[in-house]
Amino acid sequence: MAAGKRPFPSGFVWGTATAAYQIEGAWNEGGKSRSIWDAFTQTDGHVTDGNTGDVACDSYHLYEQDVALMKQLGVNSYRMSLSWPRIIPDPLTGQVNPEGVAYYNKVIDSLLANGITPCVTLYHWDPPLVLEEEVGGWASERIIPFFLHYAEACFTAFGDRVKMWITFNEPSIFIYFGYVLGYHAPGRKDLAEVGPYACVHNVVRAHAQVYRLYEKNFKSTQNGKVGLSLNSDWAEPRDPDNPESVKAADRYMQFRLGIYAHPIFVDGDYPPSLKRRLADRAKGGENRLPQFTEEEKAYMKGSSDFFGLNYYTTRYAVAGTKEDEASYAGDCNFEEHTDPQWTRGQSVWLYSVPWGLRKLLDYIRVNYGSPVVYVTENGFSDPPGTLEDTARQTYIKDHLTAVHQAVTEDHVDVRGYYCWTLLDNFEWAEGYNERFGLFHVDFTHPQRKRTAKESVRFFKEITSSNSV
């Protein structure tokens, strides 16, 4: 499948992305402590086929091979994450692990030597286990100072070379799946009724505090940028002429995206419609949505240099049936539907809907102050063993066409695109049964042999021509 002739702006960033737990392996090497995902996957019943990330792609040992694969793709940037327990194994003492720092120094230096700019995520879901067990994880505001200390250690160690930082990856996912559904680490379900609002409050405040820390202590000398990556599907009203369907789609967007984006990109506070809804549902009792102080609003507002967007799919929204239920599901009260004509990936939730990405990008432009946007994840899953991945090529081409339309016709300031993902890897609760990689990985091979799928050549055409 040949790339076309829709040129992107000069200087457009072409990248691919991974996460430490999903590729590194070496779970107990180099001074690293256990993360919540180590504990979660090493407990029976949590992951399909009992798989773990103990070895994964073994990128801890094979990172030079991975950099060579990036060269083959022709990307000019690589979005990677740091393993918090590899850098600060015991956050209660706060001591930085020299072996962990040395490993990431080697990765960063190898990238730069090959003309690839690192984009580094501080938190991609794998904090030290002790912070969940002893502090309470993101349900407790006590975790915030530990995250600040970790961020400061990373800025100090790597900020002379890393100029693009992402604080959190997809808080809506790790909070909802980890603290409401129990489907992801740490496997908690205790916030299903009261809602994950305390977690949200702690994460957005932690993000803003890290942003201000960098702004105060590092920006003048390192001159980098700090943002975060928010995941959202696009919610389209099932019936645009039905007011209840329109309201359901708006609730979807506010509970999934606005609750994080509005405080950071608009006015330092939660979306007005979300605040009104939760106040009304409190019925004079305790409002489960925490309140920001005026000081917090001040440091929250404008606390991001760019908007990182992870987009995969779209849903049709209709009003739910849980309006009277005193639960988080009742707060949201929407139902999600798909179209049987949409192409589905190996993941049960993933349908190819490129027009949803264009609509979402324009929604961000209109509602969040026309920020600089990077698509920090976008990709398609196929079954294990697939090398002739035509469905992935079609997905990428169609979604990049939507990005191009957003840039050239809707005037959205999109500066880059990171394809998820470089390698087949450990896909969280689904283990190794869903493959998002541009490169196939043989997880039965001792050296985790990498093989290019057909999409590698296709993506190289895009990166080399700066067009789709």
Q: Which of 24, 377, 427, 434 is catalytic?
A: 377
What sign does the dihedral 418-422-424-429 (CA atoms) show?
negative
- Residue 4 is assigned to a structural domain of this protein: no
Letter string b/e over residues 156-191, b meaning 16 or more CB atoms within 10 A of that residue's CB: ebbbebbebbbbbbbbbbbbbbbbbebebbbbbeeb
- Tokens found for residue 322: 């849980």
Q: Indicate the pLDDT class of residue 284, thresholds 50, 70 and 90.
A: confident
Distance CA 207, CA 260 (A): 10
pLDDT at 335: 98
Query: Residue 293 has what pLDDT?
Result: 98
Summarize pLDDT for 113-161 with one digit per residue, the tens. Answer: 999 999 999 999 999 999 999 999 999 999 999 999 999 999 999 999 9
CATH of residue 47? 3.20.20.80
Q: Would 362 be classed as within a structural domain?
A: yes
H-helix or E-strand containing 317?
A: strand 314-319
Which pLDDT value is given to residue 3? 54
Question: What is the spatial distance between Cα 206 and Cα 212, in angstroms, rounded to a whole number?
Answer: 10
User: Which of helix, strand or coil describes residue 66?
Assistant: helix
- Asked if residue 428 is part of any domain, the answer here is yes
Predicted confidence (pLDDT) at residue 70 exceeds the cutoff of 70: yes
Residue 288: the pLDDT is: 95
pLDDT tens readout for residues 16-50? 999 999 999 999 999 999 999 999 999 999 999 99
C-beta of residue 414 within 8 angstroms of C-beta of residue 361 = yes
In a domain, 7, yes or no: no
Q: Residue 6 falls within a domain, yes or no?
A: no
Going by pLDDT thresholds of 50, 70 and 90, the confidence category of residue 407 is very high
CA distance 88 to 96: 5
Instruction: Tell whether the model's pLDDT for residue 4 goes beyond 80.
Output: no
pLDDT band at 5, cuts 50/70/90? confident
- 241 vs 232: CA distance, rounded Å: 24
pLDDT tens digits, residue range 417-456?
999 999 999 999 999 999 999 999 999 999 999 999 999 9
Instruction: Write the pLDDT tens digit of every residue in 296-345.
Output: 999 999 999 999 999 999 999 999 999 999 899 999 999 999 999 999 99
pLDDT tens-digit readout, 340-394: 999 999 999 999 999 999 999 999 999 999 999 999 999 999 999 999 999 999 9
Domain of residue 170 covers 13-465
For residue 15, give Cα distances in angstroms to 121, 410, 415.
14, 23, 11
What is the count of structural domains for the chain? 1
- How many CB atoms are located within 10 Å of the residue 374 CB? 26
**Region 2-22 average pLDDT:** 92
Q: How confident is the model at residue 408, as a pLDDT?
A: 98
User: How far, in Å, CA of 124 to CA of 147, rounded?
Assistant: 13
Active site residue 409: no
Instruction: Dig out the tokens for 251 from the structure.
Output: 């609730």
| Nearest by Cα to 387 from 465, 442, 431 | 442
Would you say residue 2 lies in a domain?
Answer: no
Sign of the alpha-carbon dihedral angle for 158, 120, 222, 416? positive
Q: Per-residue pLDDT tens for 285-295?
A: 889 999 999 99
* pLDDT bracket for residue 254 (50, 70, 90): very high
Query: CB neighbours of 446 closer than 8 A, spacing ≥ 6?
Result: none
Q: Is 280 left (phi over 0), alpha (psi -120 to 50) or beta?
A: alpha
Q: From CA 139, how far away is CA 191, in angstroms rounded?
A: 9
pLDDT score for 2:
56
Quote the CA–CA distance of 354 and 371 in Å, as a whole number: 21
What digits encode the pLDDT tens for the residues 197-252? 999 999 999 999 999 999 999 999 999 999 999 999 999 999 999 999 999 999 99
Assessment of whether the complete model's pTM goes beyond 0.85:
yes
Q: 395 and 434 in contact (C-beta within 8 Å)?
A: no
> Residue 398: pLDDT band by 50, 70, 90 thresholds?
very high
For the cut 80, the answer to whether the pLDDT of residue 194 exceeds it is yes
